[in-house]
Chain A
């Protein structure tokens, strides 16, 4: 589930709560794509409350990141939980998203 946390001049912060699987991925993709066409310049997605994400969900994050880039905006993920960080590391996406502390 996507929730809005706050707006700031540095970018709007949203967070993902619960889990993202193939089933909910399409819905999430729609919501995030819509945000790409609003005036915001930077979207920060906080993952601290995300329990689980599978390859379908990861695909959404990767695609949304590209979509934002295509329109000259920034999409950033922060604070992945340990489980999610493991998945991001395994798929080597942690480096792509800049969330690898290593």
Chain B
């Protein structure tokens, strides 16, 4: 269907399908000939019941209804159409009536009629009104088509993004990983990664781009490719953070930033060298004692804000039988129906319930706890969880 540059007359480029419902053959014939001259394809129904049957079989672009009919009146038909459910595409309903009383018009409007033409009608007026309503109908249909296209695009963005996340965790002797990635909408501004360096050190990272949705997802993908190429080029962690800061300062507007936690684990000494830019401390779960503690990291501002970027490394030594839990604030900021946050306390409690569970089961349990907390409202922000277990 071509779009004319003109503001109105789509009729000239595509045939509108109009259903005329009138129990008077003469009246129906008059209306039909007018509509055919306008370029419409016309179907006639001789009663309200017949009109409803035809409408159930297929859709029409416009319905012209005679008000007074034997059996179902035009108003009754309009009413039934309105209550028939909203899955029907938009269709203007015009009542043709000899009645001019205000109360009759009101009854018609309340029943769902879009417009009135008074009988006996002026052919020019009928034609003009029909053209206006068909124009609205075309706009409506175009909007639906655009929405469908956009949704298809968004679904593709989601697939692209999922492909950017680690497809499987690296198999590293003595370590295992489990992650949960929960976008709040189609795409997420959160990011996590696990990368093995050439020298055997393991890099784990988690990040949160402020905001969410597709723009954040795009920044997330820039972050990922920058990080991965720097790790491959053997750039050291402090320099990686400084460069990411520069990249993001240019990529982001002044109202966005990225919180980022990056750590490198030496698999022989189990020393974890951590860098945190605006990101909160990770948690350490000791399976034997079932203690959960925050691992304090001396951090700095989030990435993308300040050109003078300085960051220091905080070291910690991990032990076999411990799980390191990284998370984004979408986890702890989840609210329940009463506005209470899942919070660090809630997360800690959930973690402590997993002491006897395998790693993936533990992750699933934490996610379950988080989701049942926000049951009824669903997740309000992108939430991500990455757990690294030291030991078999």
> Chain A: residues with CB nearer than 8 A to chain B?
21-22, 29, 52, 54-56, 58-60, 62-63, 66-67, 87, 90-93, 95-96
Contact = CB atoms under 8 A, between A and B. Distances in A.
- The binding surface of chain B is classed by DSSP as loop
Interface in B257-312: 257, 259, 277-280, 299-302, 305-306
B2 interface: no
Interface in B181-229: 208, 210-212
Interface string B295-333: 000011110011000000000000000000000010001
A55 B208 contact: yes
Given A56-B210, A59-B257, A62-B254, 5 more contacts: A54-B329, A55-B257, A58-B210, A63-B255, A91-B302
A91 B381 CA distance: 17
Contacts, number: 60
A29 B255 contact: yes
B380 interface: yes
Nearest to B256: A59
B242 to A, nearest CB: 16
Interface of B: 208, 210-212, 253-257, 259, 277-280, 299-302, 305-306, 329, 333, 380-381
B381 A54 contact: yes
B255 A60 contact: yes
Nearest to B184: A22
Given A58-B210, A63-B254, A66-B254, A92 B299 contact: yes
B254 A91 contact: no
B375 to A, nearest CB: 19
Nearest to B252: A59
A92 B381 contact: no
Contacts of B256: 59, 63
A62 B257 contact: yes
A55 B259 contact: yes
B381 A22 contact: yes
Nearest to A19: B339
